[in-house]
Structure 1
Amino acid sequence: LPDFASVLRVVLSELQVERHVLAEEMQKVVPPALVEIERLKGKLGKREWLSHEEFKVLSRSARAVVRTGECQPYSNIALVSGVTF
C-alpha cells in the first residue's frame, strides 16, 4: 500500500483545498504524517484542530475517504474543498 505522504501528494494534485482538519492528539504523538503535512501546509489552507472524538464525528459527513494503510496513531487528515471557479 502507498504511504500517507504519497497519497496526500496525489490527492493535492487533483483537489483545491480550502482548509484541513487534524486531531489535537497528533501534536502529542507527532506521527510521520505530521511532518509531511507541515511540508505541504502551503497547499492545505487554514488548519483546524479537533479532539480525536470530534474528528471521528466530522468524518461521518465525508464525501470521500481514502485509505492508505498508514498504521501510525492519529495519522488522519480531513481536507475541506469547495468549488474551484
Structure 2
Amino acid sequence: MKKSGILNRHLAGAIAELGHGDTVLICDAGMPIPPGPRVVDLAFRAGTPSFAEVLDGLLDELVVEGATAALEVRDANPEATRLLDARFPNLELIPHDDLKARTATARLVVRTGEARPYANVLLRCGVFF
C-alpha cells in the first residue's frame, strides 16, 4: 500500500499513464465532460474536495509545462484567480466555451466537488528530464 501521495487507485493509475504533451483537466462539479476522456470523479459533496486541494495534490505528482483556464474566472471567481496566478505565472486564458471544446481532447479529467464558478484548469504535461 502507498504511504503518501495520491492514494486513490484510479487517479494514481491514470497519472502513471500520462506522457509528455498529454492534457489533464481539473474541473469543478458543474463542468460538462464530453465523452472520450478518462474521468476520475472525486466529487463527494459540494465543495469537497476543493479545486485547490486537488490542484495542489496533482501538482505534487505531475510535471506541468503549461496551463489554460477560462478568461471568465477573472470576474467570477477571485479565489480561483489568485490560486491559478500563484501556481502558473504564464497562465493562458481563453473563453470558457473554448476551454470546454479543448476538454474533448484531454487524456484525463479529474472532477472535484468545487461549487464555485470557473474553477477549471487544463494542464499540459511536461517531462522531468
Point out the structure with the larger helix share. Answer: 1
For structure 1, the 5+ residue unaligned runs are none
For structure 2, the 5+ residue unaligned runs are 1-47
The 8 Å contact of residues 66 and 124 in structure 2, kept in 1 or not, is answered as yes
Give the distance between the partners of 1:62 and 1:41, measured in 2 at CA: 19
Q: Which has the larger radius of gyration?
A: 2
Equivalences, count: 82
* Runs of 4 or more above 3 Å deviation: none
Percent sequence identity over aligned pairs? 39
Q: Summarize deviations over 1:39-84 as a string: whole Å, max 9, x none.
A: 3235xxx321111110001011111111111111111001111332
Match of 1:23 among 56, 70, 83: 70
TM-score normalised by structure 1 residue count: 0.85
Aligned partner letter, 1:71: A
Match of 1:49 among 93, 104, 113: 93
Match of 1:37 among 75, 84, 93: 84
Aligned partner letter, 2:116: Q
TM-score normalised by structure 2 residue count: 0.58
Give secondary structure in 1 for the equivalent of 2:57.
helix
Aligned partner letter, 2:109: V
Give the distance between the partners of 2:113 and 2:68, measured in 1 at CA: 19
Q: CA deviation at 1:31?
A: 4.0
Match of 1:68 among 112, 117, 127: 112
Q: Which residue of 2 aligns with 1:80?
A: 124
Give the distance between the partners of 1:59 and 1:78, measured in 2 at CA: 8
Give the distance between the partners of 1:59 and 1:31, measured in 2 at CA: 23
The 8 Å contact of residues 26 and 34 in structure 1, kept in 2 or not, is answered as yes
